[in-house]
Amino acid sequence: GNSVTQMEGPVTLSEEAFLTINCTYTATGYPSLFWYVQYPGEGLQLLLKATKADDKGSNKGFEATYRKETTSFHLEKGSVQVSDSAVYFCALALNTGFQKLVFGTGTRLLVSP
């Protein structure tokens, strides 16, 4: 079946530290990959995406590269801010006619000043 595994949290960092949140996937076929972010009291927001192997998604200083050989889509940011504190979800969707997302369990990021 299709599944996403991401590192457990919380991840606790100081402001300006480097961030990596690991995500690996299992899928039949060639999925599109996503990172969503959920701030307290708000809906899930798409952070970035990649639709084929070797694509790099980027947004707001965050990056992730679709690695088919390692079935991974790790999220990175060079210098985190307190405002980045949130829960981050890795997800996949098969390239069918509609977007049926399969999510990981989420990783909480806590950034302290």
Partner 1 sequence: DTGVSQDPRHKITKRGQNVTFRCDPISEHNRLYWYRQTLGQGPEFLTYFQNEAQLEKSRLLSDRFSAERPKGSFSTLEIQRTEQGDSAMYLCASSPVGRVVSGANVLTFGAGSRLTVL
Residues lying near partner 1 in the complex (CB under 8 A): 4, 32, 36, 41-46, 49, 51-52, 89, 91, 93-106
Residue nearer to partner 1 on the CB measure, 17 or 44: 44
Residue 21 CB, nearest distance to partner 1 (Å)? 13
> Residue 51 or residue 72: which is nearer to partner 1 going by CB?
51
> What's phi and psi for 2, nearest 5 deg?
-95, 135
Q: For residue 58, count CB atoms less than 10 angstroms from its CB and return exposed for 0-12, middle for 13-18, buried for 19 or more.
A: middle
If the CB atoms of residues 4 and 64 are measured against partner 1, the closer one turns out to be 4
Distances (CA, A) of 42 to 2, 22, 37, 45, 86: 27, 23, 10, 9, 10
52: Cβ contacts below 8 Å, ≥ 6 apart? 30, 32, 66
CB of 63: closest distance to partner 1 in angstroms?
17
In whole angstroms, how close is the CB of 36 to partner 1 at the nearest point? Answer: 8
Please, what is the minimum distance in Å from the beta carbon of residue 28 to partner 1? 14
